[in-house]
Amino acid sequence: QTTLADLAQRHGRYFGSATDNPELTDAAYTRILGNEFDMITPGNGMKWYATEPQQGVFDWTAGDEIVNLARANHQKVRAHTLVWHSQLPGWLTGREWTADELRAVLKNHIQTEVRHYRGKVYAWDVVNEAFNEDGTYRETVFYKTLGPGYIADALRWAHQADPRARLYLNDYNIEAVGPKSDAYYDLARQLKAQGVPLHGIGLQAHLALQYGYPTTLEENLRRFARLRLDTALTEVDVRMLLPATEEKLAQQAEWYGDLTRACLAVRRCVGITVWDYTDKYSWIPAFFPGQGAALPWDEEFARKPAYYAIRDAL
Ligand code: XIL
């Protein structure tokens, strides 16, 4: 049977899923993961806390397991993520740093990790979640210590370490045109003008039925394409207030179809990744209590209306 990956490939796109190491012992889970998708993202295994648990001591166990599985299944990897304020190791958050110290720490982290995965990953989310909702810079340890230039530096360091990897900035709530996506648009234009190696913008697309569909998604993808940037929907899920009803699942399906069509309508939208594919392993119930049922397969691995809507759109 044709898979989502097969259908996406007919459009020159990929269809991916995030995954996480603990789930990989579930054979029913890995069967679909290996068959249906042609792009894989480690949900946690390449984050700073996992890869550099002590300063200068690197651990590739979790990330390598997923890269090796992807290779065995002939899948590409979107690597996630190098610079982020969340899921940092205690040694980094637990003390103060001078700018020179933190710059050296950041450069070493980026270059060591990107070098380790050189030639093995298609793309990197270099900086994750750099802006607030109003388009101001998020006051992370990196911003506060190094100023906004940390983003250009991170991109340059990553590019030196793997000149072939596609380098992205990635964030949530930037699917629609608005203050936060405008901040990315303006920053991306500046970075391109300065010759900084930036290749794409990742729109996480953690959508929620109760907040409405981002109707300007296609228009937003188009304006980044005009800057000669790729875009990707990198962490898609469509959550709802539980319990799930037939009506909510139908609306969710419509949204999955709509976002798939929006990506296909814009040449430089290179692919779609769901933030895991089954409700069994979704991060939503733990992070948004009372919400869930966000993914195209249910907890028993049955295909939901959302799955069929994606198929129809592809
Ligand atoms: C989530 C993971 O899925 C969870 O397992 C983890 O506990 C927290 O992070 N935006 C991102 C992802 O960029 O890294 C987050 O992943 C979800 C929100």
Q: Which domains does the chain have, with CATH numbers?
A: 4-313 (3.20.20.80)
Marked catalytic residue, from 36, 52, 129, 175: 129
Residue 73: CB atoms within 10 A of its CB come to 14
Residues of the chain predicted below pLDDT 50? none
Global ipTM: 0.99
pLDDT of residue 1: 86
Phi-psi region of 129 (alpha: psi -120 to 50; beta: other; left: phi over 0): left
Distance in Å, CA 235 to ligand 1 centroid: 9
Distance in Å, CA 194 to ligand 1 centroid: 31
Of 307, 289, 299, nearest to 241 by C-alpha is: 289
Atom of ligand 1 minimally distant from the CA of 20 = 5
Is 129 in the active site?
yes
- Tracing tokens 């992205």 back to the chain, one arrives at 168
Of 259, 206, 258, 270, nearest to 232 by C-alpha is: 270
pLDDT of residue 68: 98
Residue 212's SS3 state is coil
Please give the Cα distance from 234 to 171 (Å, whole number): 9
Distance in Å, CA 110 to ligand 1 centroid: 19
Residue 227's SS3 state is coil
Ligand 1 site residues, Cβ closer than 6 angstroms: 20, 43-44, 128, 204, 235, 283
Atom of ligand 1 minimally distant from the CA of 84 = 13
Residue type, 5: A
- Per-residue pLDDT reduced to its tens digit, 74-133: 999 999 999 999 999 999 999 999 999 999 999 999 999 999 999 999 999 999 999 999
Pocket-testing residue among 126, 201, 235, 237, ligand 1, by greatest number of atoms within 8 A of Cβ: 235
pTM more than 0.95 = yes
Q: Ligand 1, atom 7: nearest CA belongs to which residue?
A: 283
Marked catalytic residue, from 65, 235, 247, 300: 235
In this structure, the strands spanning 14-19 and 269-274 are parallel
Give 238's contacts (C-beta < 8 A, 6+ positions apart).
207, 208, 209, 252, 255, 256, 294, 306
Is 52 in the active site?
no
pLDDT of residue 102: 98
pLDDT of residue 189: 98
pLDDT of residue 187: 98
Residue 241's SS3 state is strand
Cis bond upstream, residue 81 (ω within 30): yes
Distance in Å, CA 130 to ligand 1 centroid: 15
